[in-house]
Amino acid sequence: MTSLSDLPIRDDLRGKKPYGAPTDPVRIQLNVNENTHPIPEAVATDIVTALAGAVMSANRYPDREFTELRESLAAYLGHGLTADNIWAANGSNEVLQQTLQAFGGPGRRVLGFPPTYSMHPIIASGTGTEWVVAPRDPGYEITSKSVVAAIAEHQPDVVFLCSPNNPTGTPVSNDAIAAAYEATDGIVLVDEAYAEFSDRESALALLEGRPRLIVSRTMSKAFAFAGARVGYLAADPAIADALRLVRLPYHLSALTQAAAVAALAHAPEMLAMVDDIKLQRDRMAASLEALGFTPVPSEANFVLFGGVSDPSELFHKLLIQDILIRDVGIPNHLRVTAGTEAETTAFLDAMADLRALGRVDK
């Protein structure tokens, strides 16, 4: 039987493993930062109706420019944006991939600040872009001084800034983003996948007059749309022109476009669950601290907590209780998604029980 090593695969892909979080079937799944709240029934009904309409014309190619979706996304984001400022793709990962296809590639480099979203270096590798890294400041922050120094050292063609950052939940200030932009002639991309869970000003406020700045978003998190795969960005219209050069024809299906437009028409109802998620996030952080752990202040829909002597052991003890969280590879840390009130309670009760029984050593 032929194995992967027998094939003439690219040398830089040999020995690598595909990205993927554990998918154990469990009762409480809090490991991949999904919005665990269900889509409201009335909204789901309208989405299904929109999908039915799209199916009737599925014999034809979809709108290649996904015009209605771009108009809907621009209206949702505000900040004076129009459809010309918007680009969308199959999840924000494809947005990032297309960005590096257009502005990265062989002989070019993208700068990141680990620990950060684990797909950033994978997408860089897949596009032949060199992944270079710089350290974060204490508390997993990135300051104006440190980002400017990193850009001066590495001279990247693209800079990735994740705000709020995954897996730490920490933000990057708009001052630091503006400083990064001024320090490079390349592209600065701010990955705002978790922006709706933060109360601070979005990098969208910086777009005017900065044609090399990109703000990437997703509908997977706040909109509970992970299974629909809709990501998008806001930027100068010239950025969308560049991405048209590398996108595959008709890359967004008619069904994807219809579902996303219908969901955006119900943005207030879809986002009503965000406040509850933030409440559960803060509740988890306070409770974990009371149990003797060290949660990192988070502006996302998850909490990274330290003070874990053996992350693998605690991970498996929770898994035995049908609770799945995430070991992100940071020593003595684990990450847990803020779920519903019931899911959060189950996780915290399990943590308290393990602590009381002496089965969790901080």
Q: Give the model confidence (pLDDT) of 286-322 as tens digits.
A: 999 999 999 999 999 999 999 999 999 999 999 999 9
State the pTM of this model. Answer: 0.94
Whether pLDDT at 24 is above 90: no
Q: Which two tokens stand for residue 286?
A: 């306070």
222 and 300 belong to one structural domain: no
Give the mean pLDDT of 172-183.
Answer: 98
Distance CA 196, CA 179 (A): 23
347 and 248 belong to one structural domain: no
Domain harbouring 141, CATH code? 3.40.640.10
Domain boundary pick from 223, 248, 266: 266
Domain harbouring 294, CATH code? 3.90.1150.10
The confidence score (pLDDT) of residue 357 equals: 61
Domain that holds residue 22: 4-39+269-356
The confidence score (pLDDT) of residue 315 equals: 95
Q: Is residue 361 part of a domain?
A: no
192 and 256 belong to one structural domain: yes
231 and 114 belong to one structural domain: yes
178 and 153 belong to one structural domain: yes
The structural domain count of the chain equals: 2
25 and 106 belong to one structural domain: no
* Out of 22-26, 57-61, 352-356, least confident range: 22-26
Q: Is residue 94 part of a domain?
A: yes
Distance CA 267, CA 158 (A): 32
pLDDT-derived band at 15 (thresholds 50, 70, 90) equals confident
237 and 279 belong to one structural domain: no
Q: Which residue is associated with the tokens 């040999």?
A: 14
244 and 323 belong to one structural domain: no
Backbone phi, then psi, for 337, in 5-degree steps? -80, 140
82 and 229 belong to one structural domain: yes
Domain boundary pick from 235, 266, 297: 266
Domain boundary pick from 266, 301, 328: 266
